[in-house]
A and B are shown apart, each in its own frame.
Chain A
Amino acid sequence: MAVITGGNTGKLELPENVFVSKLDELANWCRKNSLWPMPFATACCGIELMATGASKHDLARFGAEVFRFSPRQCDLMIVAGRVVMKMLPVLQRIWLQMHEPKWCISMGACASTGGVFDTYAVVQGIDRFIPVDMYVPGCPPRPEQLIQAIIDLQDKIQREGTITGREFDTAERQRRKRALVEASELLTIDASRNPVIQRELTQIAGRN
């Protein structure tokens, strides 16, 4: 056992193998190095997710290899693939069943934006309906990209985590972070009749 001895100087003297830290940081350090992913793999991205966990890319190096199929045992949801209308209630239920603290990675173009599947049944980005911490672009993303996302997430946990989960507290925060806006309206509007676009066009013309 380490004995902390205070001399007359009033300074704290610590043995070599003792560190002083904050409890929050200790908790973050534990959490980030033992992420247990929930593989929500619904499509082709799931194959890359499996490759990430398999021997060549070996997710165990980052402490995140324990894929669990029960949401009760997981703290990192990896949504890999497109989510359709029938699947979304399932996704939401599984998200609610996971214990705090929990994080979500949206893997691939489909999970993040709907990808090429801009159709009546496919949800255009899961972040419309559940909170997302990391987006991984690509179709599909390579395992290295997913690993980078996990490393970045670990960074984020270390930087902003608190032992009581204060960082998760506000819904407002999530709303501001939503990366996507409804694009279909933008794509279908008639520019000649839209005053906002017209104003911008005249401004640009005036500058030139």
Chain B
Amino acid sequence: MAEPSTHADPSRSDPVLDALAAAVGPIETSTFRGQTRVVIDAERSMESLRLLKEQGFDLLVDVSCVDYLEYKGAKHRYGLVYLLASTATNRRLTVRLFVDDPDPTVQSVVPLWGAANWLEREVWDLFGIRFTGHPDLRRLVMPEAFTAHPLRKDYPLQGRGERHNFPVLTRDDG
């Protein structure tokens, strides 16, 4: 696995990342099997992602999340992953940022890519990351009455009894 490097190394010059570094300050980049990854600051995520969109990343492929609870060497609890692609140059870029408890919050990117709407709803549903500015932040897959965020590592696999919280129908009811 490649070592993370600060994007100041002139031998790795990349116009897109240079522009990003120029706009928001030093960023951490790394490559793995030809794929470029960049870690941005959660506070300035909107600014950074808007810039990347202007640099040609017109397609948001996925928004996902990782819970780093008790992960070796992890400094933050949640890692958000944005997979960007450019339909013009066929280039791909993985953008990551970190947020923490107690109220993990990040700016919604729905204004930039409409595709983010359901993707962010899914992340909210399963991980409880709040996306500020999202037009309709409801649960996507779990029932509306569900209260937990089940993909968090501290949520028990078998749930907290939600799955058995239903009325029992007997023959008398039918």
Contacts and interface: CB of A to CB of B under 8 A. Distances in A.
A26 interface: no
B142 interface: yes
Contacts of A88: 166
B59 to A, nearest CB: 31
A36 interface: no
Interface in B129-149: 142-143, 146, 148
B170 A122 contact: no
A128 B168 contact: yes
A120 interface: yes
A118 B143 contact: no
B163 A85 contact: yes
Contacts of A98: 174
B163 A121 contact: yes
Interface in A153-176: 168-171, 173-175
Interface centre among A85, A92, A98, A175 (most CB of B within 10 A): A85
A171 B150 CA distance: 34
B150 to A, nearest CB: 5
A102 B173 CA distance: 12
Contacts of B170: 131, 171, 174-175
Contacts of B174: 95-96, 98, 100, 102, 131, 168
Contacts of B159: 119-121
Contacts of A61: none
Interface string A173-186: 11100000000100
B150 A174 contact: no
A129 interface: yes
Contacts, number: 72
A89 B174 CA distance: 14
A124 to B, nearest CB: 7
Chain B, interface residues (CB within 8 Å), range: 20 to 34
A11 interface: no
A120 B155 contact: yes
B171 A92 contact: no
A129 B168 contact: yes
A86 interface: yes
Contacts of A64: none
A68 to B, nearest CB: 17
A123 interface: yes
Nearest to B169: A130
B150 A120 contact: yes
Contacts of A168: 171, 174
B168 A118 contact: no
Contacts of A170: 171-172
B163 A124 contact: yes
Interface in A98-138: 98, 100, 102, 118-124, 128-131
Interface of B: 142-143, 146, 148, 150, 155-160, 162-164, 166-174
Ranked 4 nearest A-B pairs via Cβ: A120-B159, A171-B170, A168-B171, A171-B172
12 contacts: A85-B142, A92-B167, A100-B174, A120-B155, A120-B156, A121-B159, A124-B163, A129-B169, A170-B172, A171-B170, A171-B172, A175-B170
Given A98-B174, A169-B171, A170-B171, 4 more contacts: A92-B166, A92-B167, A123-B163, A128-B168
